[in-house]
Each structure stands twice: as structure tokens, then as C-alpha cells.
Amino acid sequence: PALLRPGRFDRRVVVPRPDVGGREGILKVHTKKIPLSEDVEISVVARGTPGFSGADLANLVNEAALLAARRNLKQVTMIDFEAAKDKVLMGAERKSMILSDEEKRNTAYHEAGHALVACIVPHADPLHKVTIIPRGMALGVTMQLPVDDKHTYTRDYLESQLAIMMGGRAAEEIFLNKVTTGAGNDIEQATELARRMVCDYGMSDLGPLAFGKNQQEIFLGRDLATQRDFSEDTAIKIDQEVKKFVMTAYQKAKDVLTSNRDALVRIALNLLEREVLDVSEVKLLIEGKPLPERVRIVLPKPTPETTEVLKPQPTPGVPGRERPQPA
């Protein structure tokens, strides 16, 4: 762009997302004025938040403080940080959204398909949690969490991600004998990833070639801003390779689910009963073991004392103004 032509800016500062050491330092700054329980280890929270920006971490601490205040606690515990992390990663719960029994069942089998494939296929990020409580714009969410920060991705990893994306659609087809619009976003993401594998990363049978030159047009969408520098025959081959990646992943997902039918049914039924399952519970269900009883926690109303002690801390923003408090 004209704004960045040589001579207009002598120095450019690149601010990437913080690594684990940076996240730990940022968390220490934001938790300085918040009382923490003895079970809270900032280093553990930092390792469990790969990809979080500084703003995400500030939001995480504020949300944890609010959750602790709602539980009438004077200190923030590790449970509060875990719940806050889920809200930042997956969006706020919409428990007021009413779903029919059929929609709940469809969502449970769909998310169970994602979760089971994520636990079975190799090279994938570990499963973190699966829920059928509507969050954000989704009716259910299956969340993976990388063990550490990733900067490059292998073809095996991306193919596993494709299989996980298609796991929901495969579960609908196999166990419900129908397909729904719930898989629309999964299919869109899988197609986009497969196209990048072909056109940007050179991972297809077409070889290590890049197709489509990005023109950096800030006012146009991706399709309009990409120059087509290949022939019609090549375009057909690209489409074939994209389809091959997606359909291979779809078949892999179907094979995993067919081989583990009983496990998927157990996961889906327990999702209908409990609404949320973490990775340890999903693994127990895959192994055919019963789940332990959950301890029900009754949340007392926050008192003025706990609300004041755990008041979320504003972060620097516009001079003279505090940052808006989280909802």
C-alpha cells in the first residue's frame, strides 16, 4: 500500500502474540492487585493459554475475578481461571436459548463426532472440552488446546484437523441417518484449509507450487484480491485436489466413528445428560468406564465485600478513561 512505501516509515515494530514466558509476565502484571488462592499457578495458566494475546489474558483475569465474586469468594481459584478460559475460548454460555429435544440430540451426536475423532486420530491437538450448551453463535462447541505454541504445521497435522472438522457431519450421517445445516461452518472451514494446503503450502500431488498471487487489496475480499495466474486446466486440477483432501478426511472420520460406534453413543448420551464433558471424561467413555459423580456447587450471592475485593482491574487505554468492564 502507498502508506508503507519506502521512506515513509524508517522502522516497523512487529508485535507477535506472546510466547509462554511473555504470557506468564503479562498474567503477573494483571493479577498483581487480585488476591489469588494457593492453588493458582500462573505458570500453569500461561502454559494452558497458547495463542492468547495480551488483551485476551487481561480479559481472562477479569473474568476469573468476576466468577470468584459470584461464588462469594475472597480469592480467585484455579477453577475460576479454567471457567474464564472456557468463556474466552468458546464464548459466553447462552443457557437461556431453548432447543428442542431433537436439536439437542442432533447437536450431541454432532459434537460427539468431533470429540471422538479428535481423541483417536494421531498428530492432532489434544481435546480440551466438548459442550452442547450454546456458546456465541454455535449450538455446541468442541475445543482443542495445543500443548505448546506452534509456528509451523505438518501435512499430517493439517490432515488430522480436516478429519476432526468433518467428524460432526460424519456422525450425523452414520448415527442420525440425515445431515443438517449444523455442519455448514465445519465444511466451509475444511474447504478453506484444503485449498490453502493446495494453493499456498504445496502439499498436494500438484507439487510444491503456489497458485494465486495476493494483491494486498485492502478494500476487496480474498477472492477479488487474488490474481488468477494459472490456466483453466490447472484450476480444474486444483479443485480436484481440494476435493480429494476433504473427501479423504471425511472418509477417515467415518472410519473412526464406525470402528468406535459404542464409544460415540456413550459420549452423545452423556452430553445430553451432563451438557459438558472434559477430556478426561471423554477418554473414560471411550474406554467404556463409568464417569464419577459430579459435585454440585451452589453459588451464593456475592456480597459487597467480595465484590470490592475482586473488582476487575482496568487496563490502560484511552488517556483519562477506564477500559469498559467485561459483561
Any idea which residues carry the catalytic annotation?
A: 111
How far, in Å, CA of 192 to CA of 223, rounded?
Answer: 12
**Residues of 152-168 as b/e, b for ≥16 C-beta within 10 angstroms?**
eeeeeebbbbbbbbbbb
Q: HSE on the CB side for 214, CA within 13 Å? A: 10
Amino acid identity, residue 313?
Q
What does the radius of gyration of the chain's CA atoms come to, in whole angstroms?
23
> Residue 152 has which C-alpha cell?
509451523
* Phi, then psi, of 230 in degrees rounded to 5: -145, 165
How far, in Å, CA of 198 to CA of 204, rounded?
Answer: 5
How far, in Å, CA of 17 to CA of 294, rounded?
Answer: 36
* Phi, then psi, of 226 in degrees rounded to 5: -100, 120
| Cα 80 to Cα 93, 128, 147, 301, distances in angstroms | 15, 16, 21, 16
For the chain, counts of helices (H) and of strands (E) = 12, 5
- Whether 30 and 57 have beta carbons less than 8 Å apart is answered as yes
